[in-house]
Structure 1
Amino acid sequence: MMKKIIKSYDYSLILAVILLCSFGLVMVYSSSMITAVARYGFEPDHFFQRQKMALIGGGLAFIVMMIFPYRAFLNSKILKFIVFGSIGLLVSLFFIGHVAGNAQSWIKLGGFSLQPGEFVKLSVIIYLAAVYDKKQSYIDEFGRGVLPPLIFTGLICFFVVIQPDFGTAFIIGMIAICMIVCSGMAIKSMLKLISLFGLFCLLMLPYIILKGFFSDEQMSRFTGVLDPFGNEGGAGYQLVNSLYAIGSGGLTGLGLGQSVQKYGYLPESHTDFIMSIIAEELGILGVLFVLILLSFIVIKGFYIARKCQDPFGTLLAVGISSMIAIQSMINLGGLTGLLPITGVPLPFISYGGSSILLLLISMGLLINVSMFTTYRDTYKKPVIVDNQPLQEIKPVQTTKNTSIR
C-alpha cells in the first residue's frame, strides 16, 4: 500500500514548488544585498540566510502536510483549536504586536518575526471547507447553512482591517467568495449574500466618508496609481521606479545581479517589488518563468478540486488555489500600476518567513488532497481516514448550483 501511495503523489506539482522556491531564494539574495548593507547595516547575505532558514522550516512542514491525512482537520477538537487560535493570535496583536509598515501586524519571537495574518488565511480556508462539507444537506438554509460561516470570516477580516492590513483582509474576503461559489450553494442563496454585503457597504459609506477611514498614506496609494509620473517624487515614487525597472529589462534583462533600481531607488525591492527586479535583471524570460510556474500551480490546484469527490478536499483545493492566484494578481497589479500598492508579497518568490511557511504548508495540504484522489482513482480502493472510506463520501451536489463540478 505504501508503494502505491508514494506513486500517487503529484511530482510535477512538487517540482514546480521546488523550482519557484529555489528561484525565489536566488532573487532574494540578488535584490536584497544592497539594501541589507546600505539601509540596515547587515551582511550582504542577511536576508538570503533568513529566507533559507524559513525555507528549511517550511520544507519540513511541507513534508509533514503531504503525509498527514487532510480529513483529520474535520476533527472537532482540531477545528476548534484552529478557530479560537486564529482569533486569539489576531487579538494578541493589540497587546504584544510589533508595528512595521504602519501596521501592527507582527509578533516578535526572539530574532524572528511572525505575521499571524498570513496563517489566518489558511485557517479560514480549512474552517470554510469543513463547515460547508458538514452543511451540504442544508447548505441553502440561510440561518443554518449560509450565515454562520460568514460571521467567523467577517470577524477575522475585522480584526485584520483594524491593524490596519487592508491587503490581507481583501485576500481573505476574496478567498471566501471563491469557496462559497464552489461550495454547492444555490444561486438564490448567493444573491441573498450579495444583497446583504451591498447593504453593509451602503451603511459603511457615510462612516468612510465622514470619519476618513483611510489615512493620507493609504489614500496616496490610490492617487499614485492614477498619475504616478505626475507625482514622481511623492505618491508615485514606488510605481515609477518599478516601471523603470520593468522597462529596462527587455527580453533577457541586464544580467543576474546587475539591477540598477535596487541601489536605493526602488523601496522593498526584495519583498513587494521583487518581480520588478526579476524583470530588470532577467527580462521577459525571467518573468515568464515565474508566471508559467505560478499558473501551473493554480490550474493544477483547480484540476485537483474538480477531480476530487470529497467536498472537504474539493473546497481545500479551491481555497488554496484561489489564495495563490489572488495574491499573485494583487502583487503583479500593484507593481505594474494596474492596482493600488497594498504590500502583498509574490507567492514563493518574495522575502518573508511567514509567507513562505504558510505557502509551503498550504501546498503540502493540496498535494495531500491530490494524493488521496489519485490513489482512489488509480487503484479503485478506498483510503480509510477518520474510520470512513474516502470513495464513499458523498460529493457536492450540482443540480441547482454553481459548484465547479
Structure 2
Amino acid sequence: MLVRILKKVDFSILFAVLALSAFGTVMVYSASMVSGVMVYEVTSDFFFKRQAISWGLGLIALFMGMMIPYKLYGKLFKPILFVTIGLLILVFFFGHTSNNAQSWLPIPGLGKFQPAEMAKMSLIIYLATIFTKKSSYIEDFTKALLPPIILMMLVVVLILRQPDLGTALITLAVSGLIIMSSGLRKVHLYSMLGIALTAAVLMYNVGLSEEQLSRFDGAYQPFEYADNEGYQLINSYLAINNGGLFGTGLGAGIQKLGYLPEAHTDFIMAVIAEELGFIGVGVVLLLLGLIVIRGFYVSMETHDTFGRLLAIGVAGLIGIQSIINLGGLTGLLPLTGVPLPFVSYGGTSLLMMMFSAGILINIHIISKLKKEQEEQAAA
C-alpha cells in the first residue's frame, strides 16, 4: 500500500519544497553569521542552528501533511479554528514583543510560536469546509457568505491588532481567493470587491499607524528618506546591484555585514541576489513558481470541492506571500515584514509552509488513487 501511495506523490512539489527549505537553511547561516554576533550578540551559528532544528521538524510536518487524509481537516475545522482564535487572543496577554509587534507566544524550552502563521492555514481549512457545505445555496449572500466573512474578519482584525499588517493582508487576500473560487454570483463578487476597496482606502487614511504609513514613503521615496524609512530598501538595491549575473559568491556578500537590517528574514532574497546573482534568484523563483503552479493544477485535477478549495488556498498562500515579500525588497510594495516561503528565517513559518505543502501532495495522492479506482471499476 505504501509503495502504491508513493507512486502517486507529486515529486515536483516535494523536490521543490525540500530544495528550497534546505537551501534556505544554508542562506540563513550566510545572512546571519555576522549580524548574529554584531547586532544580536549571539554566536555566529545561532540562527542557523535554530533554523536547522525547524527544518528537521518541518520534514516531519511535511510527511504528516502528505500522509494524513486531507478530508480529516474538514471534520476538525471547528476545533482548529477555535484553538487558533484562542491563541491569537492569548498573544495580547502573554505575547512576546519584537520589532514593535506582539506576535509570539513563548514556549518554555522550545522558543517562540507565532499563532498568526497557524491562522492562515486554519482559515483556509475553515473557508474550504464552509463553502463546500454551502455549495448548494452559495448564491444566498446572507446564509452562505455573511457568517464566514464575519469570522474571517475577526481573525484578520486579531492579527492586525498585534499589529501584523503583512500577515493580515495575506490572510485577507487568500480568503478572498477562496471565496471567489467558491462559485458565488457575480453581483456578490463585485459587491465584495467594492467593499474591499473602500475598506482599503479607509484603512490607509484612518486605520494605519504613523509607522505603518511611513513604510509607503520608504517604498516609493526611499532616497528622500535614506536615513530612516528608506534605509532598508536602499541597501536591498545595493545588494541586488552588487550581485549581477553570478553573484559575489556564497558567504561573500557585503550588505549583510550590518548594512542590511533583517537580512536573514524579510530581506534574505537580497542576500541571495548579492551572493548568487540573478541565476540564484532565478532558481528560487522557478522553484516557488513550480510549487504554486502545480498547486493550482492539483486543484483542477481533483473533483472534490473541499480538496479543490483547499489546494487553491494553499497554492494562493504560497504565491501571494512570495509576491508580498519580493515586492517589499524591490520597492514595488511597502515593507510588511513578511518572510519568503521556505527560505526566510522563522520556525513557525517554515513548519506551517512545509505542512501546507504536504497537504497539497496528499490531495494529489488521493485524487490519483480515486481516479485509479474509478478506472478499475469501469474496466
Range class of TM-score, shorter chain: over 0.9
Q: In structure 2, how many angstroms separate the alpha carbons of the residues matched to 1:137 and 1:257?
A: 56
Q: In structure 2, how many angstroms separate the alpha carbons of the residues matched to 1:375 and 1:183?
A: 25
What is the match of residue 158 of structure 1? 157
Shift of 1:188: 2.3
Show the 5 A alignment for 1:194-343.
Answer: 194-197=193-196, 204=202, 209=205, 213-343=207-337
What is the match of residue 102 of structure 2? 104
Q: In structure 1, how many angstroms separate the alpha carbons of the residues matched to 2:194 and 2:270?
A: 39
Shift of 1:265: 0.2
Q: In structure 1, how many angstroms separate the alpha carbons of the residues matched to 2:374 and 2:319?
A: 32
What is the match of residue 92 of structure 1? 90
Secondary structure, counterpart of 1:380 in structure 2: helix
The answer on whether the counterparts of 2:12 and 2:290 sit within 8 Å (CA) in structure 1 is no
Show the 5 A alignment for 1:376-387.
Answer: 376-380=370-374
What is the match of residue 134 of structure 1? 133
Q: 1:38 aligned to 2:38?
A: yes
Q: What code does the residue aligned with 2:306 have?
A: F
Shift of 1:149: 1.1
TM-score by length of 2: 0.96
What is the match of residue 77 of structure 2? 79
What is the match of residue 386 of structure 1? none
What is the match of residue 397 of structure 1? none
Comparing 231-240 with 116-125, greater Cα deviation is found at 231-240
Comparing 183-192 with 364-373, greater Cα deviation is found at 183-192
Kindly provide the CA deviation profile for residues 233-284 of structure 1, in whole angstroms up to 9, marking residues without a partner as x: 1211000000000001010000000010011000000000000000000000
Q: In structure 2, how many angstroms separate the alpha carbons of the residues matched to 1:136 and 1:274?
A: 41
Q: In structure 2, how many angstroms separate the alpha carbons of the residues matched to 1:122 and 1:323?
A: 9
Shift of 1:225: 1.4
Comparing 105-114 with 359-368, greater Cα deviation is found at 105-114
Q: What code does the residue aligned with 2:319 have?
A: A
Shift of 1:216: 2.6
Shift of 1:14: 0.7
Comparing 222-231 with 122-131, greater Cα deviation is found at 222-231
Q: CA RMSD in A?
A: 1.8
Q: In structure 2, how many angstroms separate the alpha carbons of the residues matched to 1:254 and 1:199?
A: 46
Q: In structure 1, how many angstroms separate the alpha carbons of the residues matched to 2:264 and 2:376?
A: 46
**Partner of residue 358 from structure 1, selected from 343, 347, 352:** 352
Kindly provide the CA deviation profile for residues 339-379 of structure 1, in whole angstroms up to 9, marking residues without a partner as x: 10100000000000010011011011111001111222244
TM-score by length of 1: 0.90
Shift of 1:197: 3.9
The answer on whether the counterparts of 2:78 and 2:126 sit within 8 Å (CA) in structure 1 is no
What is the match of residue 146 of structure 1? 145
Shift of 1:142: 1.1
The answer on whether the counterparts of 1:308 and 1:314 sit within 8 Å (CA) in structure 2 is yes
Q: What code does the residue aligned with 2:72 have?
A: A
The verdict on how the C-alpha distance between 1:60 and 1:99 changes in structure 2, with shifts beyond 3 A counting, is: same
When the two structures are aligned, how many residues end up with a matched partner?
A: 377
The answer on whether the counterparts of 1:375 and 1:381 sit within 8 Å (CA) in structure 2 is no
Q: What code does the residue aligned with 2:40 have?
A: Y
Q: What code does the residue aligned with 2:354 have?
A: L
The answer on whether the counterparts of 1:146 and 1:189 sit within 8 Å (CA) in structure 2 is no
What is the match of residue 61 of structure 1? 61
The verdict on how the C-alpha distance between 1:261 and 1:129 changes in structure 2, with shifts beyond 3 A counting, is: same
What is the match of residue 13 of structure 1? 13
Q: In structure 1, how many angstroms separate the alpha carbons of the residues matched to 2:324 and 2:195?
A: 25
- Percent identical residues: 46
Secondary structure, counterpart of 1:257 in structure 2: coil
Runs of 4+ displaced beyond 6 Å = none
Q: In structure 2, how many angstroms separate the alpha carbons of the residues matched to 1:107 and 1:151?
A: 25
Shift of 1:214: 2.5
The answer on whether the counterparts of 1:376 and 1:382 sit within 8 Å (CA) in structure 2 is no
Secondary structure, counterpart of 2:34 in structure 1: helix
Q: What code does the residue aligned with 1:228 have?
A: P
The verdict on how the C-alpha distance between 1:338 and 1:73 changes in structure 2, with shifts beyond 3 A counting, is: same
